[in-house]
Amino acid sequence: MQDEEEVARRGSSKLQRGGRWEVIAVMACKLRACVCGKAKMNAKAGPSEVRGTLLLLCLGAVTLTCLLGLGSSPSAWSRGCLEEGPARPGGLGSRVDWDPPGGEARRRHQQNDSCRLVLVESIPQDLWSAAGSPAAQPLAQAWMQLLDPARESVHVASFYWSLTGPDIGVNDSSSQPGEALLQKLQQLLDRNVSLAVATSTPTPAKNSTDLQVLETRGGWFWVVDGQHVYVGSANMDWRSLTQVKELGAVIYNCSRLAQDLEKTFQTYWVLGAPRAVLPKPWPRNFSSHINRFQPLRDRFDGVPTTAYFSASPPALCPHGRTRDLDALLAVMGAAQEFLYASVMEYFPTTRFRHPARYWPVLDTALRVAAFSRGVRVRLLVSCWLNTDPRMFPFLRSLQALSNPAANVSLDVKVFIVPVGNHSNIPFSRVNHSKFMVTEKAAYIACTALVSFRRGPRR
């Protein structure tokens, strides 16, 4: 469905906070089906076992959500993800052959960890910030620098790929950073670095040949050498670098966190095997020992930090993995002073399901924060050519709750990126960021505050 394919595409903003940091990162994957695997090796082998090659994994309707926060230590709010029953005889669930690669080298990296976090963003061309506004590192620059230290492997999970102008039938100079990134990925293969790609199928970029170009050279995800990671709202799309506002983070020299994120990548990878079925339960080697109850405790840029990843849906949560909805509600529920959120769209309903159903979980959390705890709530919602006008009654309903006389502060604004002379570029000029910041935490995501659920096909 075109609307579903495009809803995960745009935007960003800035976050700068001080004090004690809690870093949380979420990879949320919605599977329409566990479908095709296309690889140059048996899926039983881990993606890092073959150097200088491209491995391409296809998953149905993969979306990614990334979360990071700063503030208080984790609380026992959720129970994480539970195992879902016995494995099917003879299926993927009965035996999944994947072992973390490079054990001795990875152990050396862990001993030398010095975690460093860099906020990154892209600002659409001709969109100017006020003088003195805080700025993060440009996303295009950060991605190129993240690939520089790669020596063994790069693992990329992205909803879709569209790094060149011809992918979408556009000839525009603003596609140059995307084309440069594609060349950089090709150069990795010349250095005998393996590139593994997990992407959606079919891709929204119908004419894209990026993966075919890489496949002819061999090639691999934004976990680099099991040490460095990128998480954020941007897809592998040149428009994310120059025409869409995006926000993310690069975490350097943090192998324990990177290797835990790699387990999420591996859940995608094994489901790309021919005739793969969902493991019930997932084997122990996919389990996470880093979660809300046992977070990574380290120093990021010298600041005491706790960190963990979460995931969704529950079927893709091996034992020990916290669900992203629980992590998000925990951030919202812990806010005592302010709660600011930026989203691409806002629907307290299911989307792309007929008939639609009311889904008030996050909407209620915002109202409770403002009304019951006196938290100052601000919601910034993107507005562009493809905005569904049915969203606005929900926004007006939130705004109507605001009553300063009763100490209820809930404000809603829309964010429009001017199109200007860029009307020739489709699905661009939009704030694609989905983030939330409180006095205790910041949350960076790749999905909107809606429920993307599909009903049974009729």
Query: Could you report the per-residue pLDDT of 419-445, keeping only the tens digit for each?
Result: 999 999 999 999 999 888 999 887 877
Q: Return the pLDDT at 55.
A: 65
Of 14-28, 163-177, 213-227, 281-295, the one with minimum mean pLDDT is 14-28
Could you tell me which of 248, 219, 267, 268 has the C-alpha nearest to residue 61? 268
Contact 146, 228 (CB under 8 A): yes
Q: Return the pLDDT at 54.
A: 63
Q: pLDDT (tens digit, 9 = 90+) per residue, 174-203?
A: 999 999 999 999 999 899 999 888 876 655
Question: What value does the mean pLDDT of the chain take?
Answer: 76
Q: pLDDT (tens digit, 9 = 90+) per residue, 323-352?
A: 888 889 988 999 999 999 999 999 999 887
Distance of alpha carbon 94 from alpha carbon 278, whole angstroms: 10
Q: Return the pLDDT at 66.
A: 38
Q: Return the pLDDT at 56.
A: 61
pLDDT over 70 (residue 295): yes
Q: Return the pLDDT at 396.
A: 98
- Mean pLDDT highest for which of 7-11, 108-112, 363-367? 363-367
296 compared with 108, residue with greater pLDDT: 296
Q: Return the pLDDT at 402.
A: 98
Question: What's the distance, Cα to Cα, between the start and end of the chain in Å?
Answer: 15
Q: Return the pLDDT at 379.
A: 98
Q: Return the pLDDT at 448.
A: 56
pLDDT over 50 (residue 4): no
Counting every residue written for the chain, the total comes to 458
Mean pLDDT of 72-101: 39
- Mean pLDDT highest for which of 83-92, 185-194, 271-280, 373-382? 373-382
Pairing of strands 296-300, 303-312: antiparallel
Mean pLDDT of 70-91: 36
φ, ψ at 411 (rounded to 5°)? -115, 140
Q: Return the pLDDT at 204.
A: 55
pLDDT over 90 (residue 389): yes
Domain annotation for the chain: domains and CATH numbers: 2-336 (3.30.870.10)
Give residues with Cβ within 8 angstroms of 107, minimum separation 6. Answer: none
Q: Return the pLDDT at 268.
A: 82
- Residues linked to residue 161 through DSSP beta bridges, in sequence order: 236
- In whole angstroms, how far apart are CA 320 and each of 266, 289, 324, 328, 440? 15, 6, 13, 17, 24
Distance of alpha carbon 33 from alpha carbon 61, whole angstroms: 8
Q: Is 277 exposed, middle or buried (0-12, 13-18, 19+ CB in 10 A)?
A: middle
| Number of other residues whose CB lies within 10 A of the CB of residue 123 | 20
pLDDT over 80 (residue 31): no
Mean pLDDT of 50-59: 56
Of 33-42, 112-121, 214-223, 300-309, the one with minimum mean pLDDT is 33-42
